[in-house]
């Protein structure tokens, strides 16, 4: 094989509007879960087809069936008029179907270029053409307008950047049919815009696209048609021009939501934590404070130093300068253990790596921080353990057959609920939520925000990190904007407008980019 | 975006090479110290001896490294070496041409590797377990076949091979080069080598990319078995007997060499030159300690300390980057 992977797949030559892929009674059962009840759906060539639905509705399952990741239980998939088995990822790729899966599944240890061409390496007489591959990868990335290097190790990029690489990679493989499963979950607005540009461009080239998202505005921005899944059943398909937000939400959850961003205001109480000129790896000279009853929002691009700041506060990393005051007194937080003992709780941003023990049961994951409380002496109280877990599962409507199902078998959004849920019962004074609603559906979002209110009313304070501006904007009493490791602006509740905040988060970068090009 | 990528753009593609140079420097340093401290170290005889000692572990370590990169472990290699000496000895004594005897012995190694792959991929056994099982049972099978006796090989040409040299370098060391160069190309410059890394890094991602994960695992263990059987042939040639209890504990030395050479037991990190250097560092320490009349018990302790120190510093550098 001497050609690059790009040349392997010829450009699609399909007239638009024709049915390219049809699902007939497609069905999937997992042990204990009927994830997808027979679904009939046709995708038209060249359309952007959005799929929306609650966490656990079966969206990702549908994608896994289409890309050969999982075998289907029954039903047919008709591709360009012919039934296809789609038994392996390879088979799907050969047809020109590929997906950017919900969790970034790439190899952290390999370079960007190696990941781009993984499984489709360019080699001559069995010898990898490494330099050529880096060059080709760089060309693809540059073509897409992503300003990223191809020769670096993937694990050194931020999650958002990895997500962009995953998208770029998919375009090489899915030359006819591309699926994006919640691609913007970890992206900032700017990265999301780059991605949207890419998606529109692919559409222009005749590629059919499935777009899954929990963010309605994205669906309306991008899609031509939208299908709604509920409990594994296809509730309906609409042309985007003939529907609206409220109708889709109602179809999704079978009830309507008046207000997603539920905000209660409390009079700020005593000071809980204060960072004074704190510096550390990834951020410098940050001063901010959190009072009881207050939500402090941190907004910025991914990589702006917000997560590094809170993990340092939490004792995960060493601070290099500055001071932390806890309830007015200077403290040393040398480990997570110290932080938890003081009364901090952190729900981290990356659920797969930091937030969950994937191959342990849901109940154990939920109870992990509170085993001290539900055991007497050394022994765990089995009854309390069960009761606590079940209470959380019911309270957050975590979709799982039982509390003893493995965390890995839950849908992405439901895993996220565990990450949040495990701290809610903990009774901490300061809660740090790093991107708490990534991949969470509208109904549950509203539920989580309501729980924020409940925490505040009990006298706790919250640090809320989000790359999703509306979230921090509508919830934070104090909103700090981070840019490249520095705190660059501070606003009160709804005192600035979106535009200004975005500019503050981006400003320097745009100058820099402008200067380069 | 560019700003966020800056941290990543620091070139560390040469990390592997740099680490290799550090190990090489350590090895040279040891040699210099020992040449000064003892009279006999720098003698041609001793160096040849050292190279012979290190060569066999070095080849085992290369195969072991392939397995460790996929996130697995092969505990059976020592037993395979012992078993292979028996097979080779029996075949040669039965009058099978040496060339054919070697080939068959190597095929036995391949078969053992395939069996490991089967156990892991098809039966879902953890690598530690399946290779541990082979470790004990192969020794048993070997003892059954030989009734617990050693078989002395009656073929002088076969034994001559491991004792002689070519252009002043022991033949056994040439074997390291014979294995090392293709192994290097395989691991760092072929797609199959790349898949060893990708499976060790993220098996799911590899599968979704169309990589045949199962075949990759089969391949890793087969190569490890093949290397071990090859070492078995070399050992049979060196000691002139077939004995299933030979090479006791060599699997641990191979793992130690691999780890000293920068292989991560968590998978996805490793090279070919690292384990080779690691094996010769270990051999040098043993050799030097003998010459210095250091108690053999101390040698083991030194090896243990060395493993901790090297892996610790390697980890520090990786984290600190
Ligand atoms: N490997 C598995 N084993 C058992 N059950 C599974 C497995 N994968 C998914 N499920 C179940 O199938 C159902 C559908 O999951 P799916 O991942 O398709 O949901 P989703 O619509 O993508 O949700 P989200 O918005 O949270 O990503 C869920 O109830 C989930 O728990
Ligand atoms: Mg999903």
ipTM: 0.74
Q: What is the mean pLDDT of residues B218-247?
A: 96
Q: A438, A302 in Cβ contact below 8 A?
A: no
The CATH fold assigned to B44-250+265-320 is: ABC transporter involved in vitamin B12 uptake, BtuC (1.10.3470)
Number of domains in chain A: 4
**B165 alpha-carbon distance from chain centroid:** 22
A93 vs B: CB within 8 A = yes
Q: What is the pLDDT of residues A455-475, one digit of tens each?
A: 898 889 999 998 888 889 999
Q: Which one is predicted more confidently, B55 or A231?
A: B55
Q: What is the mean pLDDT of residues B260-280?
A: 91
Rounded distance from Cα A33 to ligand 1 centre (Å): 9
Rounded distance from Cα A60 to ligand 2 centre (Å): 4
Surface of A (456-495) touching B: CB under 8 A = 484
CB atoms within 10 A of CB B277: 27
Same-domain pairing of A279 and A200: no
CA dihedral A434, A437, A439, A443 (to 10 degrees): 170
Q: What is the mean pLDDT of residues B57-82?
A: 96
Q: Which residues of A8-17 are buried (b: 16+ CB within 10 A; e: fewer)?
A: ebeebeeeee
Q: How many residues in chain A?
A: 517
Smallest CA–CA separation between A302 and chain B, in Å?
A: 9
- Asked whether the whole model's pTM tops 0.80, one would answer no
Same-domain pairing of A141 and A186: no
**Range in A73-77, A97-101, B297-301 the model is least confident about:** B297-301
Same-domain pairing of A40 and A165: no
Q: Which one is predicted more confidently, A413 or A491?
A: A491
- How far is residue A231's CA from residue B69's CA, in Å, rounded to a whole number? 41
Confidence bin at B196 (pLDDT 50/70/90)? very high
Residue B6, pLDDT > 50, answer no
Q: What is the mean pLDDT of residues B69-89?
A: 96
Q: Which of A251, A282, A307 is the last residue of a domain?
A: A251
- How far is residue B223's CA from residue B120's CA, in Å, rounded to a whole number? 15
Confidence bin at B321 (pLDDT 50/70/90)? very low
Query: Is the torsion defined by CA of A71, A75, A81, A83 positive or negative?
Result: positive
DSSP state of A51: E
H helix intervals, A18-73: 59-66
Residue A266, pLDDT > 50, answer yes
Q: What is the mean pLDDT of residues A154-168?
A: 86
- How far is residue B22's CA from residue B18's CA, in Å, rounded to a whole number? 6
> Which of A105, A157, A484 has the CB atom closest to B3's CB atom?
A484
With an 8 Å Cβ cutoff, are B209 and A89 in contact?
Answer: yes
Confidence bin at A295 (pLDDT 50/70/90)? very high
CA distances from B211 to A165, A336, B124 (A): 18, 39, 19
In a domain, A101, yes or no: no
Q: How far apart are the first and last CA of chain B?
A: 20
- How far is residue A443's CA from residue B166's CA, in Å, rounded to a whole number? 77
Q: A251, A230 in Cβ contact below 8 A?
A: yes
Same-domain pairing of A122 and A62: no
Minimal-distance CA residue of chain B relative to A121: B191
- How far is residue A41's CA from residue A232's CA, in Å, rounded to a whole number? 13
In a domain, A386, yes or no: yes
Q: What is the mean pLDDT of residues A328-349?
A: 87
CA distances from A353 to A300, A419, B50 (A): 22, 11, 45
The pair phi, psi for residue B137, each rounded to 5°, is -75, -30
Confidence bin at A258 (pLDDT 50/70/90)? low
Same-domain pairing of A435 and A412: no
Same-domain pairing of A336 and A432: yes
Residue B3, pLDDT > 70, answer no
Same-domain pairing of A332 and A410: no
Instruction: State the residue range of the domain holding A121.
Output: 108-172
The per-residue pLDDT for A11 is 44
Same-domain pairing of A515 and A434: yes
Q: What is the mean pLDDT of residues B53-77?
A: 96
Residue B143, pLDDT > 70, answer yes
Residue A2, pLDDT > 70, answer no
In a domain, A464, yes or no: yes
Same-domain pairing of A73 and A189: yes
In a domain, A102, yes or no: no
Exposed/middle/buried for A507, CB within 10 Å: 0-12, 13-18, 19+? Answer: middle
A75: left (phi over 0), alpha (psi -120 to 50) or beta: left
The pair phi, psi for residue B17, each rounded to 5°, is -65, -40
Show me where the domains of chain B are located.
44-250+265-320
Confidence bin at A516 (pLDDT 50/70/90)? very low
The pair phi, psi for residue B40, each rounded to 5°, is -80, -15
- Residue A290 in 3-state DSSP? strand
Q: What is the pLDDT of residues A297-335, one digit of tens each?
A: 999 877 788 988 998 999 888 889 999 999 999 999 888
Tell me the percentage of chain A whose pLDDT exceeds 90.
32
In three-state form (DSSP H/G/I as H, E/B as E, the rest C), the secondary structure along B132-174 is: HHHHHHHHHHHHHHHCCCCEECCCHHHHHHHHCEECCEEHHHH
How does the average pLDDT of chain A come out, rounded? 85
Same-domain pairing of A81 and A133: no
Surface of B (242-281) touching A: CB under 8 A = 268-269
Chain A to chain B Cβ contacts (< 8 Å): 104
Same-domain pairing of A85 and A189: yes
In a domain, A31, yes or no: yes
> Which of A93, A108, A190 has the CB atom closest to B210's CB atom?
A93
Surface of A (181-210) touching B: CB under 8 A = 190-191
Q: What is the pLDDT of residues B292-312, one digit of tens each?
A: 888 888 888 888 888 888 778
**Range in A102-111, A427-436, B153-162, B281-290 the model is least confident about:** A102-111
Tell me the percentage of chain B whose pLDDT exceeds 90.
64
B292 vs A: CB within 8 A = no
The per-residue pLDDT for B8 is 35
Q: What is the CATH number of the domain that holds A488?
A: 3.40.50.300
Q: What is the mean pLDDT of residues A368-396?
A: 81
Q: Which of A427, A449, A478 is the last residue of a domain?
A: A427
């Amino acid at each position: 094989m001497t050609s690059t992977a790009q040349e392997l797949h010829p450009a699609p030559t399909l007239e638009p509007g024709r049915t390219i892929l049809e699902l007939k009674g497609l069905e999937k059962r997992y042990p204990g879960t009927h994830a997808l009840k027979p679904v009939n759906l046709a995708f038209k060539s060249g359309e952007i087809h959005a799929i929306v639905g609650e966490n656990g509705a079966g969206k990702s399952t549908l994608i896994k069936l289409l890309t050969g990741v999982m075998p289907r239980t029954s039903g047919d998939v008709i591709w360009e008029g012919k039934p296809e088995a789609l038994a392996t990822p390879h088979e799907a790729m050969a047809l020109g179907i590929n997906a950017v899966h919900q969790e970034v599944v790439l190899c952290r240890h390999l370079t960007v270029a190696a990941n781009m061409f993984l499984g489709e390496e360019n080699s001559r007489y069995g010898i990898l053409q490494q330099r050529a591959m880096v060059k080709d990868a760089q060309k693809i990335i540059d073509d897409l307008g992503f300003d990223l290097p191809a020769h670096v190790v993937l694990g050194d990029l931020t999650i958002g950047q990895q997500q962009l690489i995953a998208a770029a990679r998919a375009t090489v493989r899915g030359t006819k049919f591309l699926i994006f499963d919640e691609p913007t979950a970890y992206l900032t607005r700017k990265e999301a815009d780059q991605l949207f540009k890419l998606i529109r461009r692919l559409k222009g080239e005749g590629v059919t696209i499935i777009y899954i998202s929990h963010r309605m505005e994205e669906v309306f921005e991008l899609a031509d048609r939208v299908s709604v899944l509920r409990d594994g059943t296809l509730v309906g398909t609409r042309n985007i021009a003939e529907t609206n937000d409220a109708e889709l939400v109602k179809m999704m959850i079978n009830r309507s939501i008046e207000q997603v961003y539920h905000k209660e205001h409390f009079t700020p109480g005593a000071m809980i934590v204060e960072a004074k000129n704190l510096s550390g790896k990834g951020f410098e000279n940050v001063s901010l404070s959190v009072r009881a009853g207050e939500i402090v929002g941190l907004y910025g691009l991914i990589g702006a130093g917000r997560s590094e700041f809170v993990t340092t506060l939490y004792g995960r990393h060493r601070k290099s300068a500055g001071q932390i005051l806890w309830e007015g007194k200077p403290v040393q937080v040398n480990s997570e253990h110290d932080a938890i003992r003081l009364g901090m709780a952190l729900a981290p941003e990356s659920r797969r790596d930091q937030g969950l023990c994937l191959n342990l049961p849901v109940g154990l994951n939920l109870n992990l921080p509170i085993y001290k409380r539900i055991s007497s002496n050394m022994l765990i109280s089995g009854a309390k353990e069960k009761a606590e877990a079940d209470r959380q599962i019911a309270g957050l409507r975590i979709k799982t057959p039982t509390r003893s199902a493995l965390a890995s078998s839950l849908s992405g959004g439901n895993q996220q609920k565990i990450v949040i849920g495990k701290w809610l019962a903990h009774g901490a004074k300061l809660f740090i939520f790093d991107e708490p609603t990534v991949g969470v559906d509208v109904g549950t979002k509203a539920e989580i925000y309501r729980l924020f209110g409940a925490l505040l009313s009990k006298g706790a304070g919250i640090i809320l990190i989000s790359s999703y501006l509306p979230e921090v904007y509508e919830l934070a009493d104090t909103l700090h904007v981070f840019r490249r490791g520095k705190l660059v602006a501070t606003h009160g509740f709804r005192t600035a407008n979106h535009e200004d905040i975005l500019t503050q988060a981006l400003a320097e970068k745009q100058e820099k980019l402008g200067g380069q090009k | 975006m560019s700003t966020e990528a800056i941290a990543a753009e620091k070139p560390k593609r040469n990390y592997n090479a740099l680490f290799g140079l550090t190990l090489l420097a350590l090895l040279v340093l040891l040699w210099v110290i020992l040449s000064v401290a003892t009279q006999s170290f720098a003698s041609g005889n001793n160096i040849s001896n050292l190279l012979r000692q290190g060569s066999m572990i070095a080849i085992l370590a290369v195969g072991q490294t392939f397995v460790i990169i996929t996130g697995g472990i092969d505990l059976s290699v020592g037993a395979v070496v012992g078993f292979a000496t028996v097979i080779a000895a029996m075949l040669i004594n039965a009058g099978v041409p040496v060339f054919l005897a070697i080939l068959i012995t190597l095929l036995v190694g391949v078969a053992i590797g395939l069996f490991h792959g089967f156990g892991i991929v098809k039966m879902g056994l953890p690598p530690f377990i399946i290779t541990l099982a082979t470790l004990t049972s192969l020794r048993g099978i070997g003892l059954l076949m030989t009734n617990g006796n050693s078989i002395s090989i009656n073929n002088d040409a076969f034994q001559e091979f491991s004792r002689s040299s070519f252009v002043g370098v022991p033949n056994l060391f040439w074997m390291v080069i014979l294995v090392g160069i293709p192994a290097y190309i395989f691991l760092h410059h072929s797609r199959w080598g790349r898949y060893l890394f990708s499976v060790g890094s993220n098996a799911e991602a590899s599968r979704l990319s169309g990589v045949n994960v199962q075949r990759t695992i089969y391949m890793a263990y087969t190569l490890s078995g093949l290397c071990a059987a090859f070492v078995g042939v070399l050992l049979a040639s060196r000691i002139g007997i077939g004995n299933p209890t030979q090479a006791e504990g060599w699997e641990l030395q191979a793992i130690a060499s691999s780890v000293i050479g920068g292989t991560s037991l968590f998978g996805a990190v490793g090279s070919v030159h690292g384990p080779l250097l690691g094996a010769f560092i270990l051999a040098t320490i043993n050799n030097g300690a003998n010459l210095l009349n250091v108690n053999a018990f101390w040698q083991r302790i030194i090896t243990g300390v060395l493993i901790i120190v090297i892996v610790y510093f390697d980890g520090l550098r990786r984290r600190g980057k």
